[in-house]
Amino acid sequence: MLPLTHQFVLAEKPEYFAETAAARLAAIISSFGRRPCLISLSGGSTPFPVYRELARRLGSNGAGNRCWWMQTDERLVPASDPRSNQRGIKESLMSGGYLPQHTFVPVIVSEPPASQSAAALDRLCQDYHDRLRQLPDPLQPPAPIDLLILGIGTDGHTASLFPDTDWLTRSSLNGFAVFQTLSQPEPRFSLTLGRILEAREIVFLVNGEAKREILNGIVFNPDNPAPAAQVARKRGVTWILDRAAAGNRLAGLIEEREKLT
């Protein structure tokens, strides 16, 4: 099983997941004090409802004024595409007027993926790194990300580190890479594994019965080869789960741990 340095937060019902997750994320952000902080956002159906609730909480307590936001990964599609992570982030976290719009730094995809050479993809990564260099001084690369929000796919991928790519060995000076996986129609921009592991705080958001098998494999199998498992074995992380994803075995262990604390 994963070491006891991991923290588990269990939402009893699916309808409580977004509120439970947003409350824990807001508490982590509050723990940073009054200094500026950099938060890296993953996309997908799991985090977007969480981001809406998180924005409301940060807007009401004023903490959002010291937060800056970047992308953990992105599909190489136009920002107007329904599959675009930045579109989902703008329609969730940055909607409602709770947070300053200029604090979100999106990935800029300027060319169709089919026309992009390896050199063009490298420039995309370097461009994003250079734009992050315009953040307030304490947050500029190579400073570590303060809070990194990740999810898990049913194949065990996290960020855009997919099992059928060279995610384990790929590195870059700027901490970003573009991966092409057979399971996705377009290339995927992503933080590299090394950059992920440098983050000060890592939180996995996992919900739904479809994630139960891979989640339990990561938690209980010390030899699980999935990218998400590699992150979890190398770092103490916080897991925010619902009961459907956890299943009876993991949920029972979480509840037993809570009784002892």
Indicate the fold that domain 7-260 takes in CATH.
Answer: Rossmann fold (3.40.50)
Q: For residue 49, what are its two tokens? A: 């409802």
Task: Compute the average pLDDT of residues 190-205.
Answer: 98
**pLDDT-derived band at 43, boundaries 50, 70, 90:** very high
- Assess contact for 32 and 63: CB atoms under 8 A: no
Looking at residue 8, what is its pLDDT? 95
**pLDDT-derived band at 260, boundaries 50, 70, 90:** confident
Lookup result for tokens 């599959």: 83
Give the type of residue at 86.
Q
Task: Compute the average pLDDT of residues 110-114.
Answer: 63
Task: Compute the average pLDDT of residues 165-180.
Answer: 96
Q: For residue 31, what are its two tokens? A: 């723990």
Residue 34: how many CB atoms within 10 A of its CB? 8
Domain residue limits, the chain = 7-260
Q: Considering the chain, what percentage of its residues have pLDDT values greater than 70?
A: 97
Looking at residue 118, what is its pLDDT? 87
- Assess contact for 204 and 193: CB atoms under 8 A: no
Residue 118: how many CB atoms within 10 A of its CB? 8
Angle at 105 between CA 101 and CA 110, to 5 degrees: 115
81 pLDDT more than 60:
yes
Task: Compute the average pLDDT of residues 70-78.
Answer: 96
Looking at residue 221, what is its pLDDT? 94
Looking at residue 2, what is its pLDDT? 75
Looking at residue 111, what is its pLDDT? 64
Over residues 220-251, the pLDDT tens digits come to: 999 999 999 999 999 889 999 999 999 999 99
- Assess contact for 67 and 39: CB atoms under 8 A: yes
Min mean pLDDT across 4-18, 107-121, 163-177, 244-258 is at 107-121
The better pLDDT of the pair 205, 255 is held by 205
pTM to 2 decimals?
Answer: 0.95
